[in-house]
Structure 1
Amino acid sequence: MTPGERKPSAANEQLTFLAHALSLSCLHGPGPWPPHAMDLPDEPPRPDDGKPHMPSVVMDGVRTHHFGVGSAPDTVQAVADLLQERAPRAALHDRLARARALEICDDLPRELARRELSRQQVYEAGHWLAEHGTRREAVKIGIVLVGVSGDERDRELLLLLGTLEEFTLYAAVALLRTQADRERAVFELARRVTAWGRIHAVERLEGSDDPEVKAWLLREGFRNDIMDEYLAPLAATTGDLYSALLDPEPDEALVDGAGGILSALARGDGGPTTGLGAYGDAVPALARYADLAGQGQATLQRLDHLLTIRRHLHKPPEHWLPGDVEALRQRYRDVLDQPRWTELALAGVADPEAPGFSLAQHCANRLGLPILPQLVARLRVDSADSYTWQSVIPMVDAGTLFALAEELLPLDDLANGPGTRLIGDGHEQALELVVTELESHPGFGLPLIRAALRNRGIRIRRAGVRALRAWLEPPAEGVAWVRAAHAVEPDEELRDAMNTLLTGRRGVNGEGSAPLH
């Protein structure tokens, strides 16, 4: 197949994953590919209901790292039977399409070896699935079979399919099994992916003594679109972070990488992997990083790293020596006391439309800088910035907050329900934040409550009901809004809450409201 050719599949004449990958390669090069490339050919339509979507690649990552995988012995036997009987490829493909590759990828090759299927027979089946598969689970098992029966000639096929994050885990293992330069092959794959694929591939570089791999891990390889905490421990140890920092003139990329790794380790204590407490060179590495950051360029990224580490030093690992802890605290105080950091943060929030405003805001907040005017200016140019709303809320009195929200939020557009969404856009998140505050300030924000009761988000409507329930005597118009919302409310639990509010209140003429059933 030539690059870019979309070869019809023998399985339901759908676009094959290989054709999809070839097209992306022609359009975008070897990778990483843009986020829309993760919309795979067999992806079912997603309802626009705001409910969290858990792609299968995420499920594979979460299961392999947190919950265990399990096994499916009956599926292994059924698939092995099809392979042994040389069943039609379409039948094999369809059976694997209904399987969970993670549950059979280890046991199936062992079962095929026990049955003494020839290497060639396994390879032909695996290669066909990898080339012609139109369903992701079938393609995953095809890659597994190529991995246990193929050789160096399969490198490009595995790299191409592995650049689709859905298949990176399986391709990385297959490359380790088939390539003479196994580590370099996985290294090449790791640089082509950015999310769970990056995590899976980099984890298979642990313990590398290749200088290029080690340097990449420290500067870039630990970064990923999921959480840097997953790879920071490996980068620090395999990359030998502390030794690298002892270079008399470390490059700027190394200093930035060190800050990213150390701050991820600080966040990682109690997180998905190990943190600073498990890194043996943490204390000297932190001290050296403080010195380098204090002497080097002042950037918002470095300020963020310094502040993250400083916060961690308030509650360090118990086994660290008290003298070491106090010395580190003093070091980071000295660095952060440099006026340039305050100037940098304030400069970052001076322009409300600057790309780095959110990071500058985050740093300025942790430095305790008075930036309320800058935050309000930001909301005036982007009222959908829910993070800025979250920062403003504790800084202003209730009247100012609700007046600002009524002025800046598009309340008519937010009356867009009812619906069943759980996660809304920026304006909806801002509305939820502000209306939640109304529960503690009865008497304010009727226009906000009105929009909330009519919004498509369940949580926002619930916040609106709670806000109105906090009033000693809700106004007649508010009661009317709840009555109208109750009539069309799709969520039974929330409908009951509305009914409780209405039946528990007395009408404006002193008469009880009739129950709503």
Structure 2
Amino acid sequence: MNAARDTGLPGAPTTVFEYALRLHRLTPNEPLPRGGVLPRGLGRLRAGLPRDHTRAGVDAAAVLDMYFDHPRIPPRALARRLAGLPAEYRHNEHISRAAREAPAARVRETGRWLIRHGTDAGSVCIGLALLAEAGTADDIPRIQTVGLLGNPFGSLAVGALERLPGGVEALIWLAERVTEWGRVHAVSALCRRADDPAVVPWLLRRGTAEGNFLDSYVVDHIARVTVLHHAVVAHGDDAEVMDTTGRILRVMTYSEGMGTSLRHYPHALTVLEAYVRQVGRLGPTADRYVAATLVAAYLGKESPAWSDDPALKARWDEARASYLALVDRTDWCATAREGLAAGDERLTWIAGEVAPALGLRAFRSL
């Protein structure tokens, strides 16, 4: 199969790095088109899994040991040997051990070559693992470039960036340009670096992404490290913080089993009450209408799980009434109808599936 033909890009390059770079140039400040899915011509992620999972990475580590023991073997020959092995797309201690025991300069040189010239996912994964052990700040751009292909390289790219000077800035850059699991890995890493002064302000404004279902795995971490129940009060006039809060509340309505659901979030009532009060002053948008409506629907079906105190349940019910009153305001109804007329799929779904049960004013005449 011709790899260049299979990328779907005119004159397409045949290395993973060049493929990612070409796509990045099309949307330099956004995620890659189609999420940066690797074309078949650039190799499969895995060439099969070992039957004994405790042996994952053992064969690749043995190949690396042999390679590092013979300084005259070129990286190209190593890449050929790795091509037939299962790709390890997460941290693997066997591979890391092989890198730590080899001369750092050669590990670094090899990692750079594999990332820059690798034509299959497995070789690039090994390159990222090597730079995680021996990389320098000079390697940040090449790690970020392949990291844009969040699946399958997100975990290893994030792990490598975390270890480097300037890693927080590099992680923020990457988090703003990846989706799905790539974004989960990047945001999770930033939550671990919340002591850096750049992290919490970014998480409060950009920590969640509209439509990213996998945010379920990180919103509880975001809420914890940003101390959201204080931030939502302190930043009530900051529209970006409020909209991030709305997305967090919305995600918590369906995150049961993946992360902390709203009924298990110990500061839920504080955040719920502050959010409805603040966005009531800020005014309606389609996003805010969707968030408030779905939160109201959830509050009517669930109860706080952290306490059976009747007073807390009363506050829970009062919060639901406040959200319903908010979305029934004339200006909020107008915003919802405008979004529906514009074809907003979220509002179309709400109109058909949620509005009848809640008796939402915006859709009563439809």
| TM-score interval, smaller chain | 0.7 to 0.9
Cα distance per residue 1:263-309 (max 9 Å; x no partner): 2122212x322223443322211121122233331233223222322
- Relative to 1, partners in 2 of residues 1:248 and 1:272: Cα closer, same or farther, differing over 3 Å? closer
The aligned residue for residue 274 of structure 1 is 260
- Distance in 2 between residues matched to 1:186 and 1:135, nearest whole Å: 24
Matched residues, percent identical?
26
Following superposition, the deviation at residue 333 of structure 1 comes to: 0.9
The aligned residue for residue 321 of structure 2 is 333
Which SS does the other structure have where 1:216 is aligned?
Answer: helix
Contact 1:70/1:103 (<8 A) preserved: no
Which residue identity lines up with residue 139 of structure 1 in the other structure? Answer: V
CA-atom RMSD in angstroms: 3.1
Counterpart pick for 1:131 among 116, 126, 135: 116
- Distance in 1 between residues matched to 2:66 and 2:288, nearest whole Å: 58
User: Are residues 1:171 and 2:157 paired?
Assistant: yes
Which SS does the other structure have where 1:32 is aligned?
Answer: coil
Name stretches of at least 5 consecutive residues in structure 1 with no aligned partner: 1-12, 45-54, 58-67, 375-517
Following superposition, the deviation at residue 79 of structure 1 comes to: 3.5
Counterpart pick for 1:318 among 287, 305, 314: 305
Alignment of 1:427-466 (within 5 A): none
Following superposition, the deviation at residue 180 of structure 1 comes to: 1.7
Cα distance per residue 1:220-245 (max 9 Å; x no partner): 22226342212211211122212111
The aligned residue for residue 38 of structure 1 is 37
- Distance in 2 between residues matched to 1:69 and 1:285, nearest whole Å: 44
Which SS does the other structure have where 1:101 is aligned?
Answer: coil
Cα distance per residue 1:458-506 (max 9 Å; x no partner): xxxxxxxxxxxxxxxxxxxxxxxxxxxxxxxxxxxxxxxxxxxxxxxxx
Cα distance per residue 1:369-412 (max 9 Å; x no partner): 596995xxxxxxxxxxxxxxxxxxxxxxxxxxxxxxxxxxxxxx
- Distance in 1 between residues matched to 2:240 and 2:13, nearest whole Å: 44
Which residue identity lines up with residue 347 of structure 1 in the other structure? Answer: R
- Distance in 1 between residues matched to 2:16 and 2:131, nearest whole Å: 16
Which residue identity lines up with residue 284 of structure 1 in the other structure? Answer: T
Greater RCO, 1 or 2 (C-alpha within 8 Å, sep 6+): 2
Which residue identity lines up with residue 281 of structure 1 in the other structure? Answer: H
- Relative to 1, partners in 2 of residues 1:364 and 1:69: Cα closer, same or farther, differing over 3 Å? farther
Contact 2:290/2:346 (<8 A) preserved: no
The aligned residue for residue 187 of structure 2 is 202
Counterpart pick for 1:244 among 220, 228, 231: 231
Task: Return the index of the structure with the highest Cα Rg.
Answer: 1
Which residue identity lines up with residue 288 of structure 1 in the other structure? Answer: A
Which SS does the other structure have where 2:266 is aligned?
Answer: coil
Which SS does the other structure have where 2:86 is aligned?
Answer: coil
- Distance in 1 between residues matched to 2:206 and 2:18, nearest whole Å: 30
The aligned residue for residue 286 of structure 2 is 300
* TM-score (structure 2 length as normaliser): 0.80
- Relative to 1, partners in 2 of residues 1:69 and 1:203: Cα closer, same or farther, differing over 3 Å? farther
Following superposition, the deviation at residue 27 of structure 1 comes to: 3.2
The aligned residue for residue 152 of structure 1 is 137
Name stretches of at least 5 consecutive residues in structure 2 with no aligned partner: 1-11, 47-52
The aligned residue for residue 98 of structure 2 is 111
- Distance in 2 between residues matched to 1:169 and 1:103, nearest whole Å: 6
- Relative to 1, partners in 2 of residues 1:83 and 1:305: Cα closer, same or farther, differing over 3 Å? same
Which residue identity lines up with residue 272 of structure 1 in the other structure? Answer: M
* TM-score (structure 1 length as normaliser): 0.58
- Distance in 2 between residues matched to 1:150 and 1:127, nearest whole Å: 9
The aligned residue for residue 18 of structure 2 is 19
Which residue identity lines up with residue 340 of structure 1 in the other structure? Answer: R
Cα distance per residue 1:44-99 (max 9 Å; x no partner): 7xxxxxxxxxx959xxxxxxxxxx99734244223422332344433321332332
Counterpart pick for 1:232 among 219, 222, 239: 219
The aligned residue for residue 50 of structure 2 is none
- Distance in 1 between residues matched to 2:231 and 2:91, nearest whole Å: 41
Aligned residues: 336
The aligned residue for residue 441 of structure 1 is none
Counterpart pick for 2:243 among 243, 256, 275: 256
- Relative to 1, partners in 2 of residues 1:104 and 1:238: Cα closer, same or farther, differing over 3 Å? closer
Counterpart pick for 2:274 among 288, 305, 325: 288
Which residue identity lines up with residue 356 of structure 1 in the other structure? Answer: D
Which SS does the other structure have where 2:102 is aligned?
Answer: coil
